[in-house]
Amino acid sequence: MSDITGSRSSQEDVRLHSDTNDNDESYSERSEDFDFDTFDDSKEPPSFAFIRGSDPRVATCRGKLQNKRSKLNQEINKELRLRAGAENLFKATNNRKLKETVALELSFVNSNLQLLKEQLAELNSSVELYQGESTEPVMPMIPLGLKETKEIDFREPFKDFILEHYSEDGSLYEDAISEFMDLRQAMRTPNRDGSGITLLFQYFNQLYFVERRFFPPDRSLGIYFEWYDSLTGVPSCQRTVAFEKACVLFNMAAVYTQMGTKQDRLTAKGLDQAVDSFLRAAGTFTYVHENFTNAPSMDLAPHMLEMLVQLMLAQARECLFEKLELQSKDKRDVDICFDLAQEAAQVAEVYCTVHTLITVSAVRDYVPYSWVSLVQVKKEHYSALAHYHSAIGLLSHDLNSLSERTKEVLQYLHVESTDKTLLDIREPRDDTERRLLGRAHLRSAILLHEESQRLLRMCRELRNKHSLIQVLCRAKEQTSNTDTDIDDEDDFNDILDPPRIHASTKFQLSLTPPDFSQIKVDDLFHQLGPVAIFSAKHHWTAPRSVQLQRGEGDKGFGFSVRGDSPVIVAGVDHGSLAHYGGMKEGDFIVSIGDVDVKWSAHEDVVRLIKEAGDLLSLRLVTPMDRNYLKQPSNSSCNKVNGCQPSPASSTVTHKKLTWNPFRRQREHETSFRDLILR
């Protein structure tokens, strides 16, 4: 980002880097930091053994808070089950005394639920635990806690499906299943840095393969993904991998909010990193909003996600305003004052939008009351700062000393209005009007500072936020001291309010959506074959063995092959060895002798067939969907080299794989009908 103390461009793309230092984490968590933003995808991807989740037993403030949230989630779930049972009993019984007893029990359960939800709301209000360590008080930001999930045992369902669907021994894949379970377990407690983001990306990308390998569209394996709402603690359970993905992305955005909140906002670098983190969080929430709108969890509902996106944008703009204040602290001319006034008005306006979204019925009842109050406080606070900087710009310079550019800015500083309670001065014509307008802005700033402090006192949780109290007190004291230094003049215009300041910004914010291609993963179940063919939605016969013995008068085996990974039987001659051996047009060759060839290129399969000599042993499968037999229309496509498809291509662009596996292949066809093998 360019220096914003001088002239700035009208639009400025915000592309910053996040920090991996975590001041409140213990050494055992910091020692596993991984810089996600400097990750070089040209190198080998980090191994799973290197990227691990944080130890949930580490006694950090943030870790303790998340552990409390986890316990509250379990207690809320228990009370919800008790309430559901009591309600069913109340409906089923006709006994009056039993109904009275159950009704009394229901009242106790509802009271316990209310207390537990209040405790969870108090945890979500503990924003100060996520703030960075700084020597001076700063305005607190709002982070999100992580969604909790239950541990899942995939062993038996996956091994049974491998035996049933892929006709392979599931015990051969125990290590792969265990590694996937370990990855999911580690993902539940990500670090609050780049390594935590990388871990979540790893698990999300691995879900690309797992979903296609083990989750057929027409039936369930009995695997259910249960996640707890991060704001209410209410569990949601689904058997779709899409729900799992949405919750993982939500936690990814939540980690970004925590990374933005912890930055040292007394430095330009810390502010840049905070802006970047909040924009990444907003981009991730937007991606969830656009692609996972059917998830039942409350914090994944469209209204909630829309509010969270606007909240992150507001906090990013707040950081940009703080950076402009920081860089102009030692040299602040009238142009910078007016820029600060309009930027502060812009921040107040976006917080007004957040307040509108957070107070709708679909959101208000699920977020902590302290969030609503803090948004109101910030709206009034930055409105006050807008009037304060306008007053400083107007009162510190005579009209004659203003440049033509400054006078032009002054023409558009105020919003036109016909309200008779407003001072009818939008562009002062002389120094008298300039002073009147400046004093009106100053008085309005004092009133708005008092309003922000009143709103703070009305919220029990905010009354304990000492950093917030100090920021508001200092701002009001600064404004009051400036007002005291100005000579009082008796004038009727003193009772009138100044015109509203026009909200404007010179920063163009660009959301940063998740880039799934930046973190590459290896398919843990690679040995099952190319995922485009050997997936849960496709069906084929069990592998069968074919042995072809070429006699003295036989010139060839009587079949031809084409394609790569896997190689397909393109044709079988009637009455040939291949025909009598049971080979069919369209069969996939999965092994030659003891060599697995599901991933082999065309040339390698041809070489193995030739090397077999007169005795050829094959293992074949016959797909049940015969659409693959259609020849591709474009025979000049690039040949597939047998590597894994990128999970990002399907995840980001949502292009569905067609059944024809040769859509992107160049057709190599080799005949073994008349070829004399040597």
Per-residue model confidence as pLDDT tens digits over 154-189: 999 999 999 999 999 999 999 999 999 999 999 998
- The answer to pTM > 0.85 is no
pLDDT at 201 over 70: yes
Distance set, CA 354 to CA 250, 254, 321, 365, 412 (Å): 19, 18, 17, 15, 26
pLDDT in tens, 232-245: 888 888 999 999 99
Specify if 625 maps to a domain: yes
Confidence of residue 438 (pLDDT cuts 50, 70, 90): confident
Distances (CA, A) of 165 to 173, 297, 582: 14, 32, 22
Rounded mean pLDDT, 346-372: 92
Mean pLDDT, residues 559-565 taken together: 90
Instruction: Give the span between the Cα atoms of 638 and 484, in whole angstroms.
Output: 77
Alpha helices in 485-624 (DSSP H): 577-581, 602-611
Among 83-97, 561-575, 646-660, 664-678, which range has the highest average pLDDT? 561-575
- When pLDDT is cut at 50, 70 and 90, the band that residue 130 belongs to is low
Tokens standing for residue 347? 């921040």
- The whole-number pLDDT of residue 69 equals 65
> Chain-wide mean pLDDT for the chain?
79
Burial (CB < 10 A; 0-12, 13-18, 19+), residue 290, is: exposed
Distance CA 272, CA 210 (A): 37
In a domain, 11, yes or no: no
**pLDDT at residue 488, as a whole number:** 54
Give per-residue pLDDT as tens, 314-344: 999 999 999 999 998 888 888 899 899 999 9
What are the pLDDT digits (tens) for 272-309? 999 999 999 999 999 999 998 776 788 889 999 999 99
Does residue 657 belong to any structural domain of this protein?
Answer: yes
Over residues 379-385, mean pLDDT: 96
- Spatial neighbors of 126 by CB under 8 A, at least 6 apart, are 65
Enumerate the H helices of 7-95 as residue ranges.
27-30, 61-92
- Percent of the chain clearing pLDDT 70 (strictly above): 75
Question: Between residues 671 and 32, which one has the greater pLDDT?
Answer: 671
Q: 423 vs 8, which has greater pLDDT?
A: 423
Q: What is the pLDDT at residue 55? A: 53
Give the tens place of pLDDT for each residue, 466-515.
Answer: 899 999 999 999 999 887 766 555 454 455 778 888 898 988 999 999 99
Domain housing 613: 530-671
How much is the pLDDT for 9?
Answer: 38
pLDDT digits (tens, 9 = 90+) for 605-660: 999 998 888 899 999 999 987 555 444 444 333 332 333 333 443 333 333 333 33
Distance (Å, rounded) from C-alpha 194 to C-alpha 153? 28
Identify the three-state secondary structure at position 561.
strand
Task: Please indicate, yes or no, if residue 642 is contained in any of the structural domains.
Answer: yes
What does the DSSP assignment read for 246-308? HHHHHHHHHHHHHHHHHS-TTSHHHHHHHHHHHHHHHHHHHHHHHH-TT---GGGSHHHHHHH
Span of 44-58, 348-362, 577-591, 662-676 with lowest mean pLDDT: 44-58
CATH of the domain at 595: 2.30.42.10
**Mean pLDDT to the nearest integer, 22-31:** 36
Whether 563 maps to a domain, the answer reads yes
Confidence of residue 92 (pLDDT cuts 50, 70, 90): confident
Which residues 6+ apart lie within 8 Å of 399 measured at CB?
407, 428, 430, 431, 434
Beta carbons of 540 and 588 less than 8 angstroms apart = yes
pLDDT digits (tens, 9 = 90+) for 400-422: 777 777 777 787 778 766 555 56
Q: Where does the pLDDT of residue 127 fall: very low under 50, low under 70, confident under 90, or very high at 90 and above?
A: low
In this structure, are residues 461 and 386 in contact, taking their beta carbons and an 8 Å threshold? no
In a domain, 630, yes or no: yes
Residues 322 and 380 sit within 8 Å (Cβ to Cβ): no
CA distance 311 to 315: 6
- Looking at residue 644, its pLDDT comes to 39
Task: Please give the tally of structural domains in the chain.
Answer: 1
Q: Taking 80 as the threshold, does the pLDDT of residue 436 lie above it?
A: yes
Q: What is the mean pLDDT of residues 364-382?
A: 93
Structure confidence at residue 297 (pLDDT):
82
Strand partners, 626: none
Strands laid side by side in the 235-238 sheet: 148-149, 225-228, 235-238
**Cα distances (angstroms) measured from residue 350 to each of 23, 316, 628:** 30, 10, 54
Residue 569: its pLDDT value, please?
92
Residue 574 has pLDDT above 60, yes or no: yes
Check: CB of residue 442 under 8 Å from CB of residue 483: yes
- H-helix or E-strand containing 591? strand 588-592
What pLDDT is recorded for position 86? 80
Within a 13 Å sphere around the CA of 302, how many CA atoms are in the beta-carbon half? 4
Of 114-123, 139-148, 224-233, 274-283, the poorest mean pLDDT is in 114-123
In a domain, 266, yes or no: no
Residue 624 lies in a domain: yes
Q: How far is CA 516 from CA 41, 207, 488, 512, in A?
A: 11, 12, 62, 12
Instruction: Quote the CA–CA distance of 601 and 605 in Å, as a whole number.
Output: 7
Mean pLDDT on 425-450:
84
Q: Please return the burial class of 255, using the count of CB atoms within 10 Å of its CB with bins 0-12, 13-18 and 19+.
A: buried
